[in-house]
Structure 1
Amino acid sequence: MASTHDVLPAPAPPRDPAAADGELPIVPRRRPGRLAGSAAALLLFALLLGSVVRNRAFQWDVVGRYFTTTAIVNGLVLTLWLTAVVMVLGFALGTLLAVCRLSGNPVLRTLSWGYVWIFRATPVLVQLLFWFNIGALYPVIELGIPYGPELFSVRTVNLLGPTLTAVIGLTLHEAAYAAEVVRGGILSVDQGQLEAAQSLGLRRSRVLRRIVVPQAMRSIVPTAGNMLIGTLKGTSIVSVLAVQDLLYSAQVIYNQTYQVIPLLLVATLWYIAVTSVLSAGQYHLERHYARGSTRGDLPPTPLQRLRSALGTTPGSRR
């Protein structure tokens, strides 16, 4: 009679998970639909790009000739200056309005809400035309003692030129939207952190600078970046006031040469170039304020994404 040891097989040795993973090949999932869609999209893009490049009606030689002319560059400088001034003044006034809306004072809260309501409900072109014709309502601006002698007076037409009118109109319009952006950023901060800071006896200014602002900027920066780009493109509307911005300069040239399409392309390419630079700055600013976020690691940069796609990152599978 055979013994038990002769009938039962010997137990197999335990498998090493690391060795098993190394033996099994990793085969990526096949996605034929994605490949077909990508190929079709690239084909359509190549056809569109080829038609734009080969179409002589675009007159690319004229575009290159006027791209860096003095009039265009001066218009671009005025556009950048107007964008910077409007954003700085708009967010300064918008921050004040946001604080008033969050205030416990019912009068300040109601007045700030009314300001935001009126300026968001009115088209920016209407506001610019209104300020441009403010001299019809107030021909003279006077400064003096109430019911007493006049100390200073100036005619409104002489005070408010086209450029100053554009600054005032765009700033007041921008402040209404900036107020909501800042208010939303402040409200995004967890109330528990403010209570913890107060329990530690931190000053209100220190709480605002070290706790509220860094966390609020995570919500403010993306929307503020969109507003900055929108303001850059929105400054083109001041051309109706004969402000010599980028678009107005292009219009002046093509009204003389009748080369409408090339000059519009010049303005378009400059807007695209500046917007690309601002978008890159917004991207890195978002990464800066994303440090310490509980959502995980910082979002990868375009260079890091390219390295990851090519499999050249440290520790990647070859």
Structure 2
Amino acid sequence: MARVLITGAAGFLGSHLCDRFIAEGFDVVGMDNLITGDLKNIEHLFKLKQFEFYEHDVSKFIHVPGKLDYILHFASPASPIDYLKIPIQTLKVGSLGTHNCLGLALEKGARILVASTSEVYGDPHVHPQTEEYWGNVNPVGPRGVYDEAKRFQEAMTMAYHTFHGLETRIVRIFNTYGPRMRLNDGRVLPAFIGQALRGEDLTVFGDGSQTRSFCYVDDLVEGIYRLLMSDYAQPVNVGNPDEITIGDFAEEIIKLTGTNQKVIYKDLPKDDPTQRQPDITKAREILGWEPKFSRAEGLKLTYEYFKSLPEDELYKKEHKDFKKYSRH
């Protein structure tokens, strides 16, 4: 039976990947230091003999006994509220953590897929964004700790591929949503739904004309699985090209939730991208993949998940103690 290591296993995407690989018949080793992940996302897996879990920071040396056939490196803060609070840890997991995972893959003879992001494109001058576009990133701006960590991660991965002949895959993930997102993680979709559920006005930063393209998590996981099993080593965009302005998206959330809140506008954060839309030509041609869930379908499922959360979750502020992770 094939065995896969998934870093960031207790996070939003990592936990869904654990589910998928167990469903595919893999033995799954989950790893997470729980800095942004939550064991509640994977507690349903602990009773399974196909699943084991290590609480560990991948920025430190990684040891996993036994064989590994695949590694999926998804350990990283992924929302602004996180990487602005723990900038050094964000840089370390993208650099040291990636180096450690690549070294482990080389030792085990495993194929590795690393999770990159559309943020490598920065505030793009090319629209939609193709994999050949090199990006427009401010390396010393507030978002630089995340953007440049991911860009370095891609460079390190390709170096291991070309120098060591390691089997590597790189997925560039665009905005993704679905059950198990943290309600207060600062990203636009859970922020809007949380405000609607609490009866608050919806906050749009900027004038609402900036765009995003939202992909439902099940579609994303399918694309990642196909990329891992493909023979393609260059980066591949995986996301939903159905683009919408943030202003229109706020109105969709108000309609979905049946609330009558107003939309209020605040200043746009520094270096916030004005456009996000993936060109998924490569994913279609190489992987035979494209998203199946419409935004209406995905939003309904996600809204039902958030509605099912206990009331204290709805009003809870982020409670993670980031201080112990940011001393060095």
Could you tell me the TM-score, scaled by structure 2's length? 0.21
The structure richer in helix per residue is: 1
Could you tell me the TM-score, scaled by structure 1's length? 0.21
The structure richer in strand per residue is: 2
User: Which structure's CA Rg is the greater one?
Assistant: 1
- Larger relative contact order (CA 8 Å, sep ≥ 6): 1
